[in-house]
Amino acid sequence: VSVLVAVVFLVFGNPLWPERHVRMVIIPPVHRMTTTAIKNAWPDLPDKIDLNVSRPRPATGERI
């Protein structure tokens, strides 16, 4: 049976069953602040940042 299907496919050049066409749907990224259920629209960030607590940025070829 598989040989017969292969021969028909090679002779006619098309599959025996129709091809399915799918429509592509592109979902845009959501904006996090407008879709969350919080009162204020912006995150609460501190007024000052202590740079002694933060780690320095690694060099280009360096891994952590």
- 5: pLDDT strictly greater than 60: yes
Radius of gyration over every alpha carbon of the chain, rounded to an integer in angstroms: 29
pLDDT one-digit tens code per residue, 9-49: 777 776 666 777 777 777 777 666 655 565 666 767 778 88
Yes or no: say if 35 and 27 are a contact pair by the CB < 8 Å rule. no
Instruction: Please name the residue that has the structure tokens 């592509």.
Output: 24
Query: What pLDDT score was predicted for residue 48?
Result: 84
- Looking at residue 33, its pLDDT comes to 60
User: Is the pLDDT reported for residue 64 higher than 70?
Assistant: no
Provide the pLDDT for residue 36.
Answer: 58
